[in-house]
């Protein structure tokens, strides 16, 4: 199963909803691993080291740093950008669809935008 990292700006209602839907989802929050307030490159580096796909609302800067990692030949397990105006239920459904259908490493080097 794919592993997820929730950025500190991601609505925690999404995290709780995912875990309610499937308690076996492997998701950690930036706040829970001591990375609160760290810059985007540090978050992406940690996600890469742990092979976790980053869930974020931060379309302003994460995208650039993620593509920079790819251009430099560095690991980037994937980013899922979630629009803030998308209904929470739809976000949870879309993320669960990705988790159910994607193979390990299938999102490597990619950025996906929700909703689909």
DSSP strand E in 1-116: where? 3-6, 26-29, 52-56, 79-82, 111-114
Domain count of the fold of the chain: 1
Residues 42, 25: Cα–Cα separation, whole Å? 23
The domain in which residue 46 lies consists of 3-114
CATH number, residue 98: 3.40.50
DSSP state of 31: G
Tell me what pLDDT residue 69 has: 97
Q: What is the pLDDT of residues 75-116, one digit of tens each?
A: 999 999 999 999 999 999 999 999 999 998 999 999 999 998
Residues 86, 33: Cα–Cα separation, whole Å? 27
Tell me what pLDDT residue 116 has: 86
Note the pTM of the prediction, 2 decimals.
0.96
Length of the chain: 116
Q: H or E segment at 27?
A: strand 26-29
Burial call 71-97: b when 16+ CB within 10 Å, e when fewer: eeeeebbbbbbbeeebeeeebbbbbee
Q: H or E segment at 46?
A: helix 40-50
DSSP state of 56: E
């Amino acid at each position: 199963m794919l592993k997820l990292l929730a950025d500190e700006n991601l609505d925690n209602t999404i995290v709780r909803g995912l875990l309610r839907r499937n308690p076996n989802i492997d998701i950690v929050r930036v706040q829970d691993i001591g990375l609160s307030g760290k810059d985007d490159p540090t978050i992406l580096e940690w996600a890469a080291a742990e092979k976790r796909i980053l869930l974020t609302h931060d379309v302003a800067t994460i995208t650039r740093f993620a593509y920079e990692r790819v251009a430099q030949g560095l690991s980037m397990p994937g980013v899922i950008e979630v629009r803030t105006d998308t209904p929470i239920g739809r976000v949870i459904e879309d993320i669960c669809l990705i988790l159910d259908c994607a193979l390990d490493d299938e999102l490597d080097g990619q950025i996906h935008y929700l909703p689909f």
